[in-house]
Amino acid sequence: MNAALLPSTLIGTPADDKNFLLAVEGLTVSFDGFKAVNDVSFYVDPDEIRVIIGPNGAGKTTVLDLICGRTKASSGSIKYKGQELTRLSESAIVQAGVGRKFQTPSIYDDLTVFENLEISFPRGRSVFGALTFKRDAEVRDRIHEIAQTIFLKDQLDERAEFLSHGQKQWLEIGMLLIQDPELLMLDEPVAGMSVGERIKTAELLNQIIKGRSVLVIEHDMKFVEDIAHRVTVLHQGRVLSEGSMERVKTDPKVVEVYLGH
């Protein structure tokens, strides 16, 4: 049928106009009547680095919790490659290709960098699988490739507990990358890092976006400028502004509630 003849309700919402990797629409969650996230919509393209910024309590972490299924939405929709995530369990969302890194690294201190990456390889995920896991060439090659990307190729045999704070963060990113998610979500990845480590993390993110998108929460504006293709600003659970960092940082509303402080 000619699109011009379709009733207007059937003609393209943004979510079906275009192949977004992630389409969040009207997302809302209430905690005891308090709307921590209130009618939030945003759209992430394939190969995009999107950064969510905003003051403390704006709802940024809650948005990531909703996308990864840790918190259930009160209403609204989260479509990942066209698939509705709000009805899926956390593990089904991981299976679908969404990886999430929390603020505190969850690496195994007493294992080496190699072993941490190895147990994160999809085939070795279960405890049983991890113990009986055969280090075939494919896995080894992938671990070396990831270690190179996360700047840890010379630390493969080092126990994770001896890594610096920044290296631990990179290792955890590596543990997600080895699962090859198409959407990678990172909550304040450079918090506590040195300036040098921040620059390298920006390099790392710019390197890994071929074939995937990254959704980052961050407060470090220099870092945001280095990585963001687009920025979404949240304030009191709502989208306050969105666009390039150039545009957002001169938006008077954003300056008033966040950047001017």
Residue 82 CB, nearest approach to ligand ATP (Å)? 26
Q: With respect to ligand ATP, which residue has the nearer C-beta, 22 or 52?
A: 52
* Interaction of residue 58 with ligand ATP, rule CB under 6 A: yes
Q: With respect to ligand ATP, which residue has the nearer C-beta, 98 or 240?
A: 240
* Interaction of residue 186 with ligand ATP, rule CB under 6 A: no
Q: With respect to ligand ATP, which residue has the nearer C-beta, 59 or 189?
A: 59
* Residue from 2, 8, 9, 56 in contact with ligand ATP (CB under 6 A): 56
* Interaction of residue 240 with ligand ATP, rule CB under 6 A: no
Q: With respect to ligand ATP, which residue has the nearer C-beta, 143 or 215?
A: 215
Q: Give the type of residue at 39.
A: D
Q: Which of the residues 31 through 50 are near ligand ATP (CB under 6 A)?
A: 31, 36
* Interaction of residue 183 with ligand ATP, rule CB under 6 A: no
CA angle, residues 18, 186, 89, in degrees to nearest 5: 70
Distance CA 209, CA 217 (A): 16
Residue 8 CB, nearest approach to ligand ATP (Å)? 35
The 10 Å CB-count burial string (b at 16+, else e) for 194-228 is eeebbebbbebbeebbeebbbbbbbebbebbebbb
Q: Determine the size of the site formed for ligand ATP (CB under 6 A).
A: 10
* Interaction of residue 99 with ligand ATP, rule CB under 6 A: no
Q: What is the DSSP string of 173-194?
A: HHHHHTT--SEEEEESTTTT--
Residue 192 CB, nearest approach to ligand ATP (Å)? 14
* Interaction of residue 192 with ligand ATP, rule CB under 6 A: no
The size of the chain, in residues, is 261
CA 251 and chain centroid, separation: 25
Q: C-alpha distances in angstroms, 108 versus 70, 71, 113, 118, 233?
A: 22, 25, 9, 11, 34
* Interaction of residue 189 with ligand ATP, rule CB under 6 A: no
Query: β-strands 98-101, 183-187: how paired?
Result: parallel
Q: Which residues bind ligand ATP (CB under 6 A)?
A: 31, 36, 54, 56-62
